[in-house]
Structure 1
C-alpha cells in the first residue's frame, strides 16, 4: 500500500505506516526543518518542501504515477496543522490561512483517487464549523460527493500502545467500503497501558545542560538556579505543591490550576500530552521522574514517549526538534490504524 503524506511534519504517521508494512512514496511539508528531518528518515520518498497551495496537483500525480503502477492501493494522509482549531490557541482567528489547508486536499484527491484517507487533528475540529460553512464541513461534503465512506472518532493514544495521554480527532475514509474504528490494543482486558518507565526507564542519567556522548539527542537544556532548586524539591509525579513557599510564583499562590507546570512525570503512568515545548521544565509536566535527575526529559526521551524509534534522526536545534516531536502523530498509534486499514483492504479485496 502506497503512502502520500501531506503536512507530514517530521514523519510520525509515515514512520507508523512504514512499520505497518506500507511503502512511503511522497511527503509534503512547508516547514524546512521538519522537511530535513523527514528526508533523512525517508530517503526513498519523493519530498516536496513547499506550500500545498502552490503545488500543482497534476504534476504531483504525474510524478507519482511514474514511480507506481495504477493497481496498487493508495492512502492519502492529510494531518493539517491543528493550531487554528486548538482550544489551547487563545489567539486563533477565522482569518488564519491554515484553516483552509484542508480545502487544498480536494483537488489532489480528485486526481489521485486514493483508496483510503487518514485525517488527524485536535478534538473539536468537527464541531467548530458545524453550524456554518467551514473547512471540515466542506471536506465532509466533498467526501460524500466522491463516494467515500468514513468514520469519525476520538482516539486516546494510550489505548493504542503509546505511553502518553493524548486525545486526537481521527477520520478514516475508504472508497471500497465502510471502516470500523480500529480495535484498541491496550487497556481493560487487553495489554497493560504503557508507561513512562517502559519507554525511557533504561536511558543513562544525564544532568541539565548535558549531552550524552552516545546520542546527541539525549540532551536537555540547563536550568536556572531557581528552577534547579524547584525541581530538587519536586517528588516523582509531584508539582509545585511540594515546594516551600518562597519558590512559588505569586500568580500561582492564589491559583489552583495548571498543576502540570513545573511538574515531574510519574514512572508507572503514561506521560501527559507532549507539546512543542516538551523540552522545557517550566512549560508542563516535563520534569524527569527520577528524583536524582534534576532536569526536564531529554529530546530523545520525548521522541520515545511519542514512540519514535530509538535511531530516528532529527535535524535542527533542541527547540526545533522538540517542536517536530510535539507536533507529530505518535508512531505506534499510526501503525495500529495502518494495520486496521490493511486488514480492511484484505477483507474487501
Structure 2
C-alpha cells in the first residue's frame, strides 16, 4: 500500500484563506550581493565612528578618485574571467603605460600622441597574451604571470629606475571635476556601464558566459571561441592602458613600483569578492563595483586610523583568500539539488 504526498499542500497550521509571506531571512541571504553590501555598510559605520574626517566631501571624493583606476582594470577582468580567462599582467601593463606616457610627455610630445602611443602597446600586450594562451594551451595564469614579470622589467628600463614628472600635463583629467564628480570617476563609471551592457545585452557577452561555462560546448554550438578570446585579451590590454593614463594623470609622475602586482591583486580581489567565478561562466559588474569600493574604503579607513600601510596588503590578501573560499562554497551549495 502506498501513500501519496501532496508536496504543495498548505500547512495545516495556516489559517484558512491566508497566504504565506514570500519574504524570509533565507531569501534575503540569497539576494545578490547582500553579504557584500552588509560588510561595506559595517566598515563605513565603524570608520565614521572612529574618524570624523571619513565622511567629509573631500575624503569621499578622494576615495572615489583613487578607486577609479582599479575599477577600470576590474571591469575588463570581470568580462575576461567570466569567459574562463585570467590576466595577471594588467597591473604591470599599467606600470609600463605610465612609464611610457611620462617619458613621452616629459620629452615634449603632445597629449594626443602620448595617449595613442601608450594605448597601442598596452593593447598589443593583451593580444599577445591571448595568442599564447589560445594557441599553446598554456594556463592563462602562467602566461600572464610571466608577462607581468617581463613588463615590470620593461617599466624599470623605460624609467631608468628614476621618477619622471609630467608637470601640469593631463592635470585636468586626474584632478578636475564635472558637476562635482571627478573626471576619473566619470571614466570609470562609463567603462563599468559599458561592460555591464555588453555582458547583459550583446551576443559577445552571451558568448563570454558560454565559453566560461564550457568552452568545448561553446565551440560545438558555433561560437568562434578563438576570435572571442583574442578580443577579450586585447580588451584587457586596452583597459590596462587606459587605467595607466588615468593613474599617470592623477599622480603627475611615474615612479618605479607604480601599478604592478599590488594594483593587480586589488583588482583581482575586487572581482572575486564581487562574485565572479574563478572557474568562469558567471560574472557581475555590480558585484565588481561593490568590491572595488569596499577595498578602497578599507584602505582609506586604515590610513585615517593611522594603521601601518603594510597592513593594507595583509587586508587585501586576507580578503582575497576569504572571497575565494566563499566563492567555492557558494558554487558547491548552488550545485546541490
Which category of TM-score, normalised to the shorter sequence, fits these structures?
Answer: under 0.3
- Higher helix fraction: Structure 1 or Structure 2? 2
Higher-Rg structure is: 2
Q: Which has the higher contact order (CA 8 A, sep 6+)?
A: 2
- Higher strand fraction: Structure 1 or Structure 2? 1
